[in-house]
């Protein structure tokens, strides 16, 4: 069970109320926090930073995402994310929403000027522990990326909707064969944007 980065983290304005709720969530035993550079134009990360900038950072597994597909752009986004989150390290950085736009290219993300060499560099430098990928249903390019590269994790839809059957039948078995951690989202049947 984890805390997703959209909702009160992007919508509330009262910083004291945001910090109080984050602390209550940690006190309740929830320790997986997932956000993204783009959520609320950075507000989600800033909201989490209210508590991640304290000693409580060591109590959580902190994940964020970059939507940039270039080496320099991804490094820039991660640097901004670290500042917003008020931390010097991430437990997980993820390639955000791969395959949701036509410009995504499986081969390009692994090239020298692509996002993956940047994220691998950050892992080698111990700025991040794990590198993952995320995606939505019916994204064949996502499956291609999972098959091609050695990601540590996959964040994907896992729910009973018909559009998610391919996840159960094809994507998760592939990730399991590759010994990837699988993180489920939209488990109650939500779709993109819900």
Catalytic site includes residue 39: yes
Residue tagged 């109320």 (tokens): 17
The C-alpha angle 178, 181, 184, rounded to 5 degrees, equals 125
Catalytic residue among 32, 39, 71, 188: 39
Q: Is 99 exposed, middle or buried (0-12, 13-18, 19+ CB in 10 A)?
A: buried
Q: 142: left (phi > 0), else alpha (psi -120 to 50), else beta?
A: alpha
Q: Mind telling me the catalytic residues?
A: 39
């Amino acid at each position: 069970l984890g805390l997703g980065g959209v909702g009160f983290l992007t919508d509330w304005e009262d910083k004291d109320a945001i910090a109080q709720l984050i602390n209550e969530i940690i006190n309740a035993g929830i320790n997986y926090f997932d956000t993204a550079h783009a959520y609320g134009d950075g507000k989600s990360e800033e909201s989490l930073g209210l508590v991640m900038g304290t000693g409580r950072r060591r109590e959580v597994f902190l994940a964020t995402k970059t939507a940039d597909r270039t080496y320099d752009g991804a490094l820039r986004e991660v640097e901004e994310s670290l500042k917003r989150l008020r931390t010097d390290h991430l437990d997980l950085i993820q390639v955000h929403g791969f395959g949701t736009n036509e410009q995504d290219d499986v081969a390009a993300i692994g090239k020298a000027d692509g996002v993956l060499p940047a994220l691998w560099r950050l892992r080698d430098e111990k700025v991040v522990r794990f590198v993952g990928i995320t995606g939505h249903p019916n994204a064949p390019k996502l499956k291609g990326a999972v098959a091609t590269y050695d990601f540590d994790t996959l964040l994907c839809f896992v729910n009973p909707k018909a559009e998610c059957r391919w996840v159960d039948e094809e994507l998760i078995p592939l990730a399991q064969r590759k010994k990837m951690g699988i993180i489920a989202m939209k488990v109650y049947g939500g779709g993109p944007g819900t």
